[in-house]
Amino acid sequence: MVPPPQPSSRKLIGIALILLLIVVWATLVAALARFVGGWPILIQTPFYLLMGLIWIVPLKPFVRWMQTGSFRDGSTPRR
Domain containing 51 equals 9-68
Q: Could you report the per-residue pLDDT of 1-58, keeping only the tens digit for each?
A: 877 777 778 889 889 999 999 999 999 999 999 999 999 999 999 999 999 999 898 8
Q: What is the dihedral of CA 66, 11, 23, 61, to 10 degrees?
A: 0
**Residue 78 pLDDT > 60:** no
- How many domains, the chain? 1
Predicted local confidence at residue 76, as pLDDT: 53
Please report whether residue 1 resides in a domain.
Answer: no
Residue 32 lies in a domain: yes
**Within a domain: 28:** yes
Would residue 75 count as lying in a domain? Answer: no
Q: Is the pLDDT of residue 77 over 50?
A: no
Asked whether residue 49 is domain-assigned, the answer is yes
User: Does residue 41 lie in a domain region?
Assistant: yes
* Domain assignment of residue 77, yes or no: no
The structure's pTM equals: 0.73
